[in-house]
């Protein structure tokens, strides 16, 4: 499927748009800096070890909990690491930012009467912090988290339960995410329109998917032939 086909389907046929949060709507730089720099720094200081030693140890711990609910459970990590993870996130909340054109895109979806659902693995405390900082929460008809669904988006049961609570029709739904594995799961579940958000972090080069339509910025999905909206300037 080509970007032109996806864009046309979005505005003509799609009724529900499911969108990931971190890396898709929001700049992943915050999360990358937090888990790869700030947390190792604080852990090293607390335990009297080097930064490099702390980072190696933490990355090993992180990998042990990938694709589980613990992965994004900040209460779990507070207990596991002996650090106040929510408080540390508050300390650097100024780094939380939306990607360019996000608010324009969300506004256009609402203008076109689309149901807009955030589908995220993020812990509900993290969602609350980020929605308070970015003030984009009002655009969403519903926020579906992995905690609520009982498993991460990488697993089919997430989608089965999300379909029930959000009431979307797989054949008329679009899902946008920056993680290939998650998109593959959504495809296996039967979501018809899948889009890969290739630019997750403002500090890293864009990724690439050979399986799905790639977009760097949401303006590529705007309902006009030249890819530009009349809604105004970029959100950030």
The secondary structure of the chain, three-state, reads CCHHHHHHHHHHCCCEEEECCECCCECCHHHHHHHHHHHHHHHHHHHCCCHHHHHHHHHHHHHHCCCCHHHHCHHHHHHHHCCCHHHHHHHCHHHCCECCCHHHHHHHHHHCCCEEEEEECCCHHHHHHHHHHHCCHHHCCEEEEHHHHCCCCCCHHHHHHHHHHHCCCHHHEEEEECCHHHHHHHHHHCCCEEEEECCCCCCCCCCCCCCCEEECCHHHHCCCCCCCCCCCCCCC
In a domain, 235, yes or no: no
Shared domain check, 206 and 188: yes
Shared domain check, 210 and 102: yes
In a domain, 227, yes or no: no
pLDDT at 26 (0 to 100): 98
In a domain, 233, yes or no: no
Active-site residue flag, 13: yes
pLDDT at 234 (0 to 100): 34
pLDDT at 1 (0 to 100): 84
Shared domain check, 202 and 129: yes
pTM of the model: 0.92
Q: Considering 13, 52, 75, 84, which one is annotated as catalytic?
A: 13
Q: Which of 94, 124, 149 marks a domain boundary?
A: 94
Shared domain check, 203 and 148: yes
Q: Domain range spanning residue 37?
A: 30-94
Shared domain check, 155 and 60: no
Shared domain check, 172 and 211: yes
Shared domain check, 87 and 14: no
**pLDDT by residue for the chain (236 residues), tens digit each?**
899 999 999 999 999 999 999 999 999 999 999 999 999 999 999 999 999 999 999 999 999 999 899 999 999 999 999 999 999 999 999 999 999 999 999 999 999 999 999 999 999 999 999 999 999 999 999 999 999 999 999 999 999 999 999 999 999 999 999 999 999 999 999 999 999 999 999 999 999 999 999 999 999 999 865 444 334 333 33
pLDDT at 227 (0 to 100): 41
Q: How many domains does the chain fold into?
A: 2
């Amino acid at each position: 499927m080509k970007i032109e086909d996806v864009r046309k389907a979005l505005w003509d046929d799609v009724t529900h748009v499911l969108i990931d949060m971190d890396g898709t709507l929001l700049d992943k730089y915050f999360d990358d800096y937090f888990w790869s720099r700030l947390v190792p720094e604080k852990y090293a200081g607390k335990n009297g070890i080097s930064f490099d030693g702390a980072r190696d140890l933490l990355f090993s711990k992180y990998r042990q909990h990938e694709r589980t609910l613990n992965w994004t459970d900040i209460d779990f990590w507070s207990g596991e690491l002996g650090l106040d993870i929510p408080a540390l996130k508050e300390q650097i909340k100024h780094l939380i930012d939306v990607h360019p054109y996000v608010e324009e895109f969300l506004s256009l979806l609402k203008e076109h009467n689309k149901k807009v659902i955030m589908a995220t693995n993020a812990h509900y405390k993290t969602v609350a912090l980020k929605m308070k900082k970015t003030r984009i929460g009002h655009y969403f008809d519903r926020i579906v988290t992995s905690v609520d669904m009982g498993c991460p988006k990488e697993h089919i049961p997430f989608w089965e339960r999300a379909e029930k609570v959000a009431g979307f029709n797989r054949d008329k739904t679009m899902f946008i995410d920056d993680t290939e594995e998650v998109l593959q799961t959504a495809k296996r579940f039967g979501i018809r329109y899948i889009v890969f958000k290739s630019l997750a972090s403002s500090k890293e080069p864009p990724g690439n998917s050979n399986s799905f339509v790639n977009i760097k910025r949401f303006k590529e999905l705007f309902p006009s032939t030249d890819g530009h909206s009349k809604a105004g300037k970029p959100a950030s």
